[in-house]
Amino acid sequence: MTEPLILANATLVLPGETRTGSITLKDGLIADIADGTSVPAGAVDMEGDYVCPGLVELHTDNLERHIQPRPKVDWPHAAAIIAHDAELAGTGITTVFDAMRVGSIKATESRYGAYARSLASELLELRQQDALKISHFLHLRAEVCSETLVAELDEFGDADRVGLVSLMDHTPGQRQFRDMSKLEAYVKGKHGFDDEGFKAHVAGLKRMRDTYGDLHEVEAVKAARRFGAVLASHDDTTEAQVAVSAGHGIHLAEFPTTVEAARACHDHEIKVMMGAPNLIRGGSHSGNVAARELAELELLDILSSDYVPAALLLAAAQLGEIWGDMARGLATVTAAPADAVKLADRGRIDIGKRADLIRFRMRAGVPALRAVWSRGNRVA
């Protein structure tokens, strides 16, 4: 048993509203919620700051960035995982689904080699040792345009905390990179290809999709069911692609690239997740639909930090301004993602929920994070 911690005189972000009050944390859970500005003896005065649920991150490439901070640099994994965990805690994220690619191309081992099984084992071992500040689950990004997807998926099982499997298809000329000029600029910049190298890259991926794509899509859907994981689509572009997603039983769409696809997702009761960097930058780096446009069309449900962890809280606050409702904006990074992956124990300030919380105040339109608690323990 631990002593209760009372966070008083806070602007509490509750389901559907914000109001001034206090919250009591005990044994890692929310034990009580009260209204008013009073600060009882022993309580911590929040000075009117926002207190909201810890952020829930469903799709981040951040762990991969720590593992490979530069091309061909393989950083010590335990150190990278711990640094990644601390960085996320420092941005207000208290639950993360760490994205790991499954599906490799043997002929280009230096760029697309298998790594997910060994990395997941190291992460889960650190979790078992209580070496991590926040809650970690696995997000397996199933790349259908590959050779080894089935074998890599078979390496995972019930004990691996696989909470999310996304169907990834990066075949050139469709989905994220319908605009081949955008793809060319991205790939040449990332891998240093010349013109001939880029052409060979495109041709190889197209052959891979023709050979393995349909089989891999079927096997990834089966794997998600085997893990008991939520299945997500990725970069749906057309109504027809969304209809296929719906047929697979998908209820979460990562980064649909057009208004047409986002609208079709809502027609099929599929939640739409967009990148926080897209919202903050005012558009997609791939030239696809802007997150703000979907927000204004009431077609945006969830935000992901994608490649900038600190973007998550900032973008949610910006959505609060766009919609004129801070509680609604923050729900896109708390309750909505928790619901999407069936985590009923977090994402809301409610009695009995996990005491995953953040404290922030607005400064010049930017949320300044002041404290983070995971299971009632201060982690940032």
Query: Does the structure show a pLDDT above 80 at 346?
Result: yes
32 and 8 in contact (C-beta within 8 Å)?
Answer: no
Pairing between β-strand 366-374 and β-strand 377-378 as defined by DSSP bridges: antiparallel
Of residues 180 and 262, which shows the higher confidence score? 262
The predicted-structure confidence for 51-98, as pLDDT tens digits, reads as follows 999 999 999 999 999 999 988 899 999 999 999 999 999 999 999 999
Amino acid at 166: S
Which pTM value belongs to this model? 0.91
What is the per-residue pLDDT for 230?
Answer: 98
The residues, any chain, with a CB within 8 Å of residue 199's CB and separated by 6 or more, are none
* Three state DSSP letters for 328-364: HHHHCCCHHHHHHCCCCCCCCCCCCCECCEEEEEEEC
Task: Return d(Cα 138, Cα 223) in angstroms, integer.
Answer: 13
Q: How far apart are CA 349 and CA 33, in angstroms?
A: 8
Mean pLDDT over each residue of the chain, to the nearest integer: 91
Tokens of 241: 């692609």
What pLDDT is attached to residue 237?
A: 92
**pLDDT by residue (tens digit) across 30-63?**
999 999 999 999 999 999 999 999 999 999 999 9
Structural contact between residues 372 and 363, judged by C-beta atoms closer than 8 angstroms: no
Q: What local confidence, expressed as pLDDT, does residue 110 receive?
A: 45
Confidence of residue 184 (pLDDT cuts 50, 70, 90): low
Residue 104: per-residue pLDDT: 83
Residue type, 70: R
Q: What percent of the chain has pLDDT over 70?
A: 89
Measured CA distances, 362 to 18, 41, 193, 326, 349 (Å): 14, 27, 44, 11, 20
* Angle at alpha carbon of residue 163, lines to 159 and 167, rounded to 5°: 120
Angle at 217 between CA 306 and CA 208, to 5 degrees: 90
267 sits in the region (left: phi over 0; alpha: psi -120 to 50; else beta) called alpha
* CATH code for the structural domain at 54-347: 3.20.20.140
Which has the closest alpha carbon to 380: 20, 87, 136? 87
Query: What does the chain come to in residues?
Result: 380
pLDDT at 254 over 70: yes
In the DSSP assignment, the letter for residue 146 is S
CA 157 to each of CA 1, 117, 264: distance values in angstroms, whole numbers, following the listed order? 34, 11, 33
Residues 265-278 have a mean pLDDT of: 98
DSSP 279-315: HHHTS-TTS---HHHHHHTT---EEE-BT-TTHHHHH
